[in-house]
Each structure stands twice: as C-alpha cells, then as structure tokens.
Chain A
C-alpha cells in the first residue's frame, strides 16, 4: 500500500456559546407549570411530577413481606385501565397519537410522561390527566400486571447487576431500612403486592395537583389549557415523602452476592455522598465535582475505563459517578469484569481512586474534560425529553430556570484547584464499600486478601 497523503491536524477553534431554552415557571390552579420553549421542534414532551416514591411505601407488618416496589408498580398501573378506557383501549389511544408513554417512580417522587407530535399535545394532556386522575385499578388488570411484574423481576435478578446493587445498598444503609434496599423491590416483595395496596398508595400519595412539565414549541401549544386539563378537578394536597435514615456508622467493607457459574463478576463500589443541596452547604461547586467525576470515571477516556478496559483488558467498560439526587447522594463505581480478574480489578479500582484523591487531576485532563463537557451540553439536549429531564432536576433541587446556562458558563472557568478540592471534600477511599456479584468459589479468597491489603 502506498502511503497516503494525510492532512495536518487542524487548529482548535472556540465553541459557540450555549444558552438553555427559555423557561417559563408559574403557579396555576393549585399546581405549578414549568415549561421550556423549543422553537421549531416538531415533538413535544409533557410530564407530570407527583409525590410518593419508594420512601413513601408503608412499613411491613411484623412477619410480613415488605411491599418494596409498590410505588413503582402503582405508577406502572396508571395507564392499565381508567374510568373511560380499558387497558387495551388506553394503550391504543396513546399509540394512535404517535405517543410514547413513560411512568417511573424514584425514592421520593413519581413521574408520568408522554412524548408526541406537538400538534397533538392537547390530546396527550387529556390522556395524562385520565391516567393520573382517573385510574381504575380493576382487579383483572392489577392481577395481570402485578403477576407480569413479578416474573419480570425474577428475570432481572437472574441477569447480573441488580444483586450487586442490592448488596451495596444493604451494606451502606442496612437491609432493615427502606433506603438500604432497592427502590424497585425484589422478586419476593413484588410477589407480595396486590390491588388493595396499590389503590391505597395512589389515594394517599398521588392525589395532589403536582408539577406539569412541558418541553415544546410554546408558540404552538396552549400551556394554560394543558394545565387546566391536568390540574382541573384535583382536590388533594401533596404530602411530603419522608427522608431516608442516615447511613450505617459501622459498615462491612466487602460484601459478595454469590452467583455460581458466572463468567463475569459485577463490581459495585461506593459510599454515601452529599446531595446537590448538601454540596452547597459544604461549599463545593457541583460543576467542579462534575468535572472531577468525569475525569475519574465519566467518559471513555476516564482513568477507570482507560486502565481497566484498555490497559488491563479486565472489562468491556468501567464507569463511576456521583448521584447527587435526593434524599441522599451516592458515589458508585461499576464494571463487569472477567471472573478470573475479579480480585486484581478491585485492587486496581481502589488504587486508581486513591491516587486520584491524593494526586488530583492534571491540567491536561482538566482542559480536555472542560471542552468535552462544554460540547456535551448542546449535544445532550437535542430532544425534548432530554430538556424535560433538566426541568425535573430544576424542580427537584429548586434550581433557577437558567441553571443549565450558568453551569455551562461555569464549566469554562473552573480551575484545577477547585476541581481537586471538590474531590478531596467528597471522595473518601477508606470509606468505600466493595460489593461483588459473581462466582465466589473462584475469587473469594483472593478478593478478601486484596481488599485487606488495599
């Protein structure tokens, strides 16, 4: 092959500034409207944020199976039959609008969303209201849905990953507290759910007007009319969901979920971290922490992925992240590694994190990551749903309408000292708990030794 004529590398050029879409936010009919204006966008995203969440689930009666997953199951049942539609009719109605339905529930809230062509937004809001305000929870539908949910949960637990997360949460917060277990529950807890529990949960937690979120071309939708549809005949008041208990003071350093025969081990390594609000209280800039987190484990070029995947060949990918959500934050690293590399992969992970805290990021890493994250803002916000996610964050943490624009600008000026100070303030290698799901008979002894030596 003759050698090709290759052009020289182009000089870098500055990125154009980015401004988040205009946000309109106002109270109406006992609820709140938060909307982002996306001129020219042919698709609209509507969401309704309500209370509830896993921390609102009732405590188990003595000797009974806890009802973990009840909140998520309730949100999933909202569109399975309403006063005016059977379950099948409702699904067909959403799909006949070209709509995509979404329902989810986290620790302290419930979100129901629909994504559809802008011209059909009004019809979409009517379906949203129908599901949330007038669900039927008929016995045939709840029984069928909950049985499927239990089977799906069994299958999820047979796939690697969830049992490692379960082990990590238990070790950090204690299995006896709700926050020490998985938000979505287990196969056993899901099997214990029934229609009566769902109806009671809906009546207690999902009756308030809530927050209507809209990401759309606001010149083409009538926000007040959408809000009137969704908030129209609501009489309830939103109860605040309780906060979680504090993490355990004494924690086991290593926990294993045995999975005989697994050809890979799932690592979940982490410790509690502040929330966004908590960061502000200790004077840590969330932008500086995001920068640090990206350098350590947030991109393909991150230290963790580079070393564990590209240099050592233990894994197809390794990541770590700070979840700054409510009610408590969490730092966690995750990877699926070859079974025979489990112990060295854990040892290397602990070393990489420790070296990062002690030595900090470098100037080169900072500059590369600065550009990467600055570019990621507009790239990541192309769809109405992605803009909608930022609206949810805005509401959850009570942030101003221009917080994305402000943080984007802040990215361009944050210094290495600020980044390294943020890491030292919140990342504590000695506190990391190591949870591993995999074939213990193969790596157990070696892993225990590696963790002890780390």
Chain B
C-alpha cells in the first residue's frame, strides 16, 4: 500500500475544493441580502421564509416528488423483473438486446429527450387521450430508469452463488418457495439500490423533463432553469440550498445503509 505523498495530498485537496466550490457558493449566497444576486451585502434568512409563501415553487416541489415516486415504483417493478429475466433466461436476440439496454445509460440526454418529444407529439395528435404533462414525463422517466434498475439487479443476481438456490431445492423447497424464501431476500438489497438510483435520477432530471413537460407540470429543475435564464433571483439560492441539503442527507443515508453490518473478518 503506497503512502500518499505531499504533492498528491495538495492536488487532491485542491480538487475536492474545486468540486465543492459551487455548492458552498450556493449555500453562502442563499443568506446574501443583496436583491439581485450581486456581491455580499448582509446576512438574511428572508429568502427562505419567502419560499414558504411561494405557491409556484411549492407546486413544482410537489410535482417533482409525485413524478419521482410514481416513476420509481413502476420502473423498479419492471426493471427488477427485467434484471431477473436477463440473468436467468435466454431468448433469441438476447445478446443484442443486452447491449441495447445500455443505450439510455450512455445516450446524451438531449437525444433521448427529443426522441420522446417527437414520439409523444405523434401519440398525442393521433390518439388524443395522451396530453403532454406529468403523464408523458412519468413515461419518459420510467424509460430511462428501467435499464439502470435492471443493471443493478442483474449484477446482484449474477454475483450470487448458484449453489445457494440449489441448496434450497435440495432441502425441499419448490421453485416458488425457493424464489420467495431465498432468491428474493438476497435480491432485495439490489432492488432497493436500483430503486434509490431511479429515484435520484428522476429528481435530478432536467433535460428530458424539459422537453416532455406540459402546462401545469413544472418540476423544480425546470423552474430553476427558467429562473436562471431570466436572471438569478436569490430565493433560487435558498431553494437550491434546501435541495442540496436533501441530496447530501440522502447520499449519506444511502452510503450508511449500504455499509455491511457484520464485523469484518471471521
């Protein structure tokens, strides 16, 4: 194990500061009393309190959460089944499809966004039952969430010792019993990890949401974008700080949850 040299410490420290600079700035400036986001003029918590009265932002928060929850639930269900099926069973064209599954992971989000926009326009004009709005956004989110969930679940299953399920059979469990008593409990951490990943992807998404949104379906990222384009209003800083805080708590929580609970060694 190499000792870490001083130059390496310095460079790394600089890089960490570089990565955190934007977050620090947002948090600091959320307390800045300057009206138009200029230089520091004084400390205030006014921007936070103004958020409480801001219906537009509250609606956006609500939309963002509903969207994230709905899409995560469906995407986790479909993605888990997909991950399970891909790890166990074969079908003609499986190799090619497995590769195709990586498309949403690597595609520039704008390509996916416009493709869906065009497709939804086609559907809305043809059918008339589907309108641009939360419904189309949910569909779009699910579409990029499914492969992520499937990949996580699948890698969890592939890493599992097949002897464990064989042991269950050997001890008298039928296929169904084996699945519920052994396979599913072991798969569950992967399913939850996939769900959390999907949830975060949805919460953070801007580009796809931007293109597939409709009247009344504004989400927080879209709101922030339009505010930024028009000129930074300081309450955006306050809002962003709250979002950052939520993300930080979420990330720390997730990392803690994933830590192995047993003592090492043995």
- Our verdict on whether A and B bind, yes or no, reads no
The interface of chain B, by Cβ under 8 A from chain A, is: none
The interface of chain A, by Cβ under 8 A from chain B, is: none
